[in-house]
Amino acid sequence: MDTTGKVLDVLFRQIAPERILHSLIQCVSGERALLREINEEREKLFIDFAESTLHGYSENEQRMLYGQLEQERQGWEKQPVVSEGFLSALIRYGQETLVTIQGIPYCRNERVLSWRDVYLRMGQDAVVCPYLACQDFCNNISRVDFTWPAILKVHDNELSHMLERGMAENHNHICGGTQSFQITWCRLMNYPEKIRSELKNFKGNNLRYRMSRGEEDNSLDRYEQLELAALFRTILFRAIHRKEFRNASDLANAGTFSSELAFKEEYMDVFSLRKELCDLVDCLRTGKGSHLDYPDETAFCLDYVLGSRLLQYCADSHERVLVGERCFLYQCALQCIRADGFTPFEQELFYLYLLLKSNFRSEMIQANGQTGFQNFLYYQNRKDDAWDENPYFWEAARMAINYRLSAESVTSLEGRLVPKPMPSKNIEKVYRFDLGKRFADCTSAESLDPSAYNFDMELDVDEFTGLPYFFVYHFIKTEDDRKLEKDMFWEVPCRHKKHRENLRAVAIGLAKALRKSTYLRNRMRGIDASASEIGCRPEVFAAEYRYLDAVQHQWNTKRDALLPSSPMRISKTYHAGEDFLDIADGLRAIDEAVTFLDLGVGSRIGHALAMGVPPEEHYRLKNYEIVTTKQDRLDDLVWLLYRTKELGVRMEGVLESRLRNEAYQLFREIYGEIVDWNGWNCELLDYYHSMQLRCDEPSAYYPDKKAREIWETMEEFDQYLLDRKNLRLREYRKSTCVSGLYYYYHYGTAEGICGRRKVRCKADGAYIRLMRQVQDAMQRYIDQKRIVIECNPSSNVLIGTFQRYEHHPIFRFNNRKLQRGERNDRAQLQVCVNTDDLGIFDTSLDFEYALLEQTLRTQEDEQTGLKYGGRDIMEYLDDLRRMGLMAVFPENSERGRHS
């Protein structure tokens, strides 16, 4: 982030709202003169909170940065058409970064990377609305249309024309594929009584950190901050329309609304009674807001700012849930600019509102600079807390499906959902989104008639064939939670026993739903497994993937051709190599996913960062250390020692000897006692073979069932507990030593306790060179398998360890169009660009392409200047776009019956 962005971040995100609130309280209580002291206070606040973002700058330099900002603000005041305002820094940045074409704001193409850094932390509307307000004021324009794109498009005609040919979104978790924060904010500002009841995943967990100098703040909790924001929004809204309102204590007298008096009455006197706030907002919804009809509720007020005049311009817009807040911010900014607008107190109240909003936004949009999937998971768990079971769901579905298909040139949209054990639930989840899509397709007049969007799933199934969007069900990964204690007297469960039982039930429920419902067979095209990889390997899902593969094959080959029935198509993808304790750990996860889940042509792997992250950058960030468990370290080392030879990698002799010695020592520490007790003559190669048995269900190796070649059972699912396609595994199962090691990997108490102990290892130059070699070999292996890699640039930058777009693995996975005819012996993988959870990462698919474009355009060659030519870059991006379209999972049609 450049210096300008860092200064804006301090001003509009880092400063504690409590400090501004305290100054407002002093103002209305007569303890200070707000106007006289405001600038002195602002400088102190800036310096107190600058260190969070401006670390590396001395305090004197930070003061100079603020002084430069103040100089520009004072120059701003001298403009004859614009009044004083704290928004001058935002407006100036907007003028440098944005351009308006036919009333619609765009990002300048050369400012894409800077814009991304700034808006990720503050939100786009925090800049766009003041920028447009100033521009419209200077041009004497009265704006009524606030339906610009949720994520601004880039002013780049060549890129736009190329993307308009069609894009595929192949990695999109649909509940995160909407504007989660904006919808949540709209819900809570208009229904503050839901703040404490609906935000289940927010309490007691701040995802961002704040550093400050000076006095300590009496911090408000998350709920109090949101309730304050809801109250201050009503005060500012009434101040904008002050002639239409009176203060509660002045109802009998003439005069306009006073924000200071409202603040004193409604916050200082009665705010502790939250019912007063709810009643106040309810009055505004009833008296000012227009009402809409939804499938589950009629005459519902989406936002009290959306009056009848404003609603007529956006009633049928897919962005309508964003319009009320945008209009509110725009009008507040306009009031700050106009000489006869907001009072200094109201300007400061608006500033406080922006800080409260940005604080809460930082708890929903991932911008805290922390790496790893667990950090993302906190955000992921919050994304639909406030809108999953109320009318705002329909707006979320509208933004997740209708908006994306119409505004982003997306011609194929894959939405991922979590399956449930109950078959009917799996059908209902898809039905609800399809209903939301059809409802959003209706005009506001048509939506009054439920027959316009309701449908019968089985009778109207033909209407859902060939649609540009479909669904993939993804299983959830969960870390092994067994409680292991020394000298246990009860039977030890296998790894992930509870989770395996749940996955089994889910897979059976999904299979029943597919067999039962023609509608679901038309809407679902694949399966996936996602969530944290640490402590949950691909082996956990092997039986479920085999089972659903078999269900698909049996259905498509045994159907009665005389009876009408649609085929079943279950393509496969899997999140692998996104989060890992070591690069070798992530590479092993990718390899195990391919082998254990039988991924091949037409399959995909999500992220696969371990296969392309620069090893030097990764280990530098980790201080050249690997922190892991003994079990994982043993597995990684054994995999490296034997799998690298199969992949054609030559390991340096000294390094191989060192890794082998380390592996053998770990093997003896974990399994030595049980090996000696059983009298096995085991080598590391035997352990490697036992690792390959992990695609089998552990219970098949329990003493009275161990190593059976024919698995007889009454349950259909249990026929797929063993992998019978891999003939090598038959010999491994017959080996007492190999199958025994696999058994104790799952059921051994002492082995489990020892394996969980932590170790720290050094990653020296030889090891780092080996990682790059193995990455290249794995890329060749995946290329031969013709497996597609789902790349998610912003998601990967924010979760991964490389932190910069220029280091994104996509440029290692495929750079064929960037070579200018040079010889290139590297594998060229099939890749596709996606957004992942766009609501959490605050992005869009076309903006992801724009980020890649600008990243390539800014690359420099030490000898020739710019590294890539403009035509090479556009051809490369177009190649990515076309690969994305080719990677779309095929629909369930007759032509796919025997595939």
Measured CA to CA, the distance from residue 609 to residue 606 in angstroms comes to: 9
- Angle value at C-alpha 27, between 22 and 30, nearest 5 degrees: 125
pLDDT digits (tens, 9 = 90+) for 267-311: 887 655 577 899 999 999 999 999 999 998 889 999 999 999 999
Query: How many alpha carbons fall within 13 Å on the CB side of residue 111?
Result: 19
Nearest to 742 by CA among 756, 757, 734: 734
Nearest to 195 by CA among 473, 385, 29, 427: 385
Residue 34 banded pLDDT, cuts 50, 70, 90: low
Distances (CA, A) of 815 to 771, 830, 872: 20, 11, 10
**What is the C-alpha separation between 425 and 414, in angstroms, rounded?**
19
Q: What is the pLDDT of residues 636-672, one digit of tens each?
A: 999 999 999 999 999 999 999 999 999 999 999 999 9
Task: With beta carbons less than 8 A apart as the criterion, state whether 518 and 429 touch.
Answer: no
What single letter denotes the amino acid at residue 5?
G
Confidence at residue 702, expressed as pLDDT on a 0 to 100 scale:
78
Position 219 scores a pLDDT of 79
For residues 814 and 829, is the Cβ–Cβ distance under 8 A?
yes
Three-class DSSP category at 816: helix
Residue with tokens 């950190």: 209
**In which band, very low, low, confident or very high, does the pLDDT at 692 lie, cut at 50, 70 and 90?**
very high
pLDDT per residue as tens digits for the range 416-434: 999 999 999 999 999 999 9
Listed residue (567, 622, 553) closest to 771, CA to CA: 622
**What confidence category does residue 708 fall into, taking pLDDT thresholds of 50, 70 and 90?**
very low
- Name the least confident of 59-73, 383-397, 466-480, 724-738: 59-73
Token couple for 324: 């009320």
Residue 592: both structure tokens together: 């195990």
Q: pTM for this one?
A: 0.94
CA distance 861 to 867: 5
Cα–Cα distance, 761 to 798 (Å, whole number): 26
Angle between helices 320-337 and 222-240 (to 10 degrees): 70
Q: What is the mean pLDDT of the chain?
A: 91
Instruction: Give yes or no for a contact between 155 and 848, defined as CB atoms under 8 angstroms apart.
Output: no
Structure tokens, 646: 């199969």
Which residues lie across from 629 on neighbouring strands?
A: 758
pLDDT tens digits, one per residue of 101-121: 999 999 999 999 999 999 999
How confident is the model at residue 563, as a pLDDT? 55
Task: Assign 710 a pLDDT band (cuts: 50, 70, 90).
Answer: very low
Which pLDDT score, from 0 to 100, does residue 899 have? Answer: 32
Helix (H) or strand (E) holding 788: strand 788-791
Distance, CA of 392 to CA of 189 (rounded, Å):
13
pLDDT in tens, 528-567: 999 999 999 999 999 999 999 999 999 998 765 555 578 9
Convert the pLDDT of each residue in 232-265 to its tens digit: 999 999 999 998 898 876 655 556 799 999 999 8
Measured on CA atoms in the order 680, 683, 686, 690, is the torsion positive or negative? Answer: positive
Whole-angstrom distance, CA of residue 871 vs CA of residue 875:
6
pLDDT at site 895: 40
Average pLDDT value for residue range 312-339: 95
Residue 273: predicted pLDDT: 59
Position 159 scores a pLDDT of 97
CA 779 to chain centre: 25
The values of phi and psi at residue 343, to 5°, are -75, 165
What are the E-state strand segments in 645-787? 758-762
Cα–Cα distance for residue pair 665/669, rounded to 1 Å: 6
> Integer distance in angstroms from the first to the last C-alpha of the chain?
49
Q: What is the mean pLDDT of residues 475-499?
A: 86
**Neighbour-count burial for 477-493, b at 16+ CB within 10 Å, e otherwise:** bbebeeebeeeeeeebb
pLDDT attached to residue 280: 93
Does pLDDT of 66 surpass 80?
yes
The three-state secondary structure class of 654 is: helix
- For residues 320-334, average pLDDT: 97
CA nearest to 787, candidates 617, 481, 574, 632 = 574
> How many other C-beta atoms lie within 10 A of the C-beta of residue 821?
5
For 231, 240, 241, 262, 351, the CA distances from 259, given in Å and listed in that order, are: 11, 10, 11, 5, 14
DSSP letters for 407-429 = HS-EEEEEEEE---SSHHHHHHH
Indicate the SS3 state at residue 223: helix
The SS3 call for residue 101 is strand
For residues 646 and 3, what is the distance between their CA atoms, to the nearest angstrom?
Answer: 50
Residue 836 and residue 827: Cα distance in Å, rounded?
25
Cβ atoms 8, 90 nearer than 8 A: yes
Span 622-640, mean pLDDT? Answer: 97
DSSP 381-399: TTTTTTTTTSTHHHHHHII
What per-residue confidence (pLDDT) applies to 43? 86
- Taking Cα atoms as reference points, which of 414, 419, 535 lies closest to residue 477? 535
Angstrom distance (rounded) from CA 859 to CA 857? 6
Q: Kindly tell me the sign of the dihedral angle through the C-alpha atoms of 868, 872, 873, 876.
A: negative
Residue type, 555: W
CA triplet 120, 123, 128: central angle to 5 degrees?
125
The identity of residue 626, as a single letter, is: I
Whether pLDDT at 160 is above 90: yes
Token pair 């092994």: residue: 480
Cα dihedral: 549, 553, 559, 561 (round 10): 130
Q: Check if the beta carbon of residue 276 is closer than 8 Å to that of residue 231.
A: no
**The tokens of 445 are what?**
């007049």
pLDDT higher than threshold 70 for residue 569: yes
DSSP 79: S
Pick the closest to residue 611 from 647, 663, 572 (CA basis): 647
pLDDT reading at 33 higher than 80: no
The pLDDT of residue 485: 82
Q: What gap in Å lies between CA 270 and CA 264, rounded to an integer?
A: 9
Tokens 């025994």 label which residue?
740
The CA-based dihedral angle spanning residues 218, 220, 225, 227, taken in that order and rounded to the nearest 10 degrees: -110
> What pLDDT was estimated at residue 714?
58
Pick from 436-445, 494-503, 701-710, 776-785: least confident: 701-710
In this prediction, residue 490 has a pLDDT band, given cuts at 50, 70 and 90, of low
Q: Say what the pLDDT of residue 86 is.
A: 82
Residue 634: pLDDT above 90? Answer: yes
pLDDT level of residue 366 (50, 70, 90 thresholds): very high
Closest CA to 533 of 628, 623, 668: 628
- Report the range of poorest mean pLDDT among 67-76, 480-489, 571-580, 701-710: 701-710
Distance CA 134, CA 125 (A): 14
Specify the pLDDT at position 820: 67
pLDDT of residue 711: 45
What pLDDT shows up at residue 897?
35
State the CB neighbour count (10 A cutoff) for residue 185: 24
Residues 6+ away with beta carbon under 8 Å from 732? 689, 690, 692, 693, 738, 739
The DSSP line for 457-470 is: TTTTGGGGSS-SEE
Q: Apex CA 65: angle with CA 64 and CA 66, to 5°?
A: 90
pLDDT digits (tens, 9 = 90+) for 819-856: 765 556 789 999 999 999 999 999 999 999 999 999 99
pLDDT of residue 35: 59
What the block records as the tokens of 377 is 């998971």
Query: With bands split at pLDDT 50, 70 and 90, how would you rate the model's confidence at 706?
Result: very low
CA–CA separation, 170 and 219 (whole Å):
42
Contact 521, 674 (CB under 8 A): no
